[in-house]
Amino acid sequence: MFEFIRGQVVSKAPTHVIVEAGGIGYRLFIPVSTYERLPEKGEVSLLVHLYVREDQMKLYGFATADERDLFELLTSVPGVGPSIALLALSSGSVGAIKGAIRDGNSDYLQKIRGIGKKMAQRIVLELKGYLEETFVAAAAQEPGRGTFNDAVLALVKLGYMRRSAEQAVRKAEVKLAGETSVESLVKESFKHL
């Protein structure tokens, strides 16, 4: 419904910012990473997410699309509300959280206040496959790494962890020194897993 808000910072705190736009003051709840990027006063533009329940409506603001995307991914998991998603974003970088989910590292997620063992495992279970697919799609865009990325994707699809698959493919590349087919890389990678 709302994509972004542009206006003047009236006041800010580590948990929220008040932005005046069109004569209206909007309170946006924000992660610490967004707070650190905001000026004390002056114009600002924030991406927003409107959260609606039968008894409340809240606006959440983000400095980057990655923050908002991860917030929306986390809140798509049953039992993870916007408060917990915001705490997660305030506790670690987007890359670290995505990496922990992708690698199945629920211990990292348990360090976030409000996330216990079962919730951390649920987050990993619900989002791991999605993040692996988006990682592989992004990695495929890297120039000159198509064969490497295809070999990693093949191993991930066979059930290996992404990090282990990458390490094995790197070792296979060194061993084969010049062989560029995906098939030979995957075969050699099995020796290093």
User: Which of 33, 63, 93 delimits the end of a domain?
Assistant: 63
Span 45-90, pLDDT tens digits: 999 999 998 888 999 999 999 999 999 999 999 999 999 999 999 9
96 pLDDT higher than 70: yes
In a domain, 102, yes or no: no
pLDDT score recorded for residue 86: 94
3 pLDDT higher than 50: yes
In a domain, 115, yes or no: no
User: Which of 63, 97, 112 delimits the end of a domain?
Assistant: 63
The mean per-residue pLDDT over the stretch 170-180 comes to 77
162 pLDDT higher than 50: yes
Q: Which residue has the tokens 């075969």?
A: 187
Average pLDDT over the chain reads 86
Calpha distance 144→12 (Å, rounded): 45
136 pLDDT higher than 70: no
pLDDT score recorded for residue 166: 81
Helices (H) and strands (E) in the chain, counts: 9, 5
Q: Find, among 125, 148, 61, 132, the residue nearest to 98 by Cα.
A: 132
In a domain, 68, yes or no: no
The whole-angstrom distance between residue 94's C-alpha and the CA centroid of its chain comes to 5
Token pair of 15, please? 């948990």
By percentage, how much of the chain surpasses pLDDT 70?
91
The mean per-residue pLDDT over the stretch 36-45 comes to 94
35 pLDDT higher than 70: yes
Number of domains in the chain: 2
Range of the domain at 151: 140-190
Phi then psi for residue 180, to 5 deg, are -115, 5
In a domain, 26, yes or no: yes
Calpha distance 167→152 (Å, rounded): 9
Upper half-sphere CA count for residue 168 (Cβ side, 13 Å)? 22
- For residue 5, which amino acid is it? I
Contact partners, residue 179, CB within 8 Å, separation at least 6: 185
Q: pLDDT-based confidence at 135, cuts 50/70/90?
A: low
Contact partners, residue 133, CB within 8 Å, separation at least 6: none
Helix (H) or strand (E) holding 29: strand 24-29
Q: Which residue has the tokens 């580590």?
A: 14
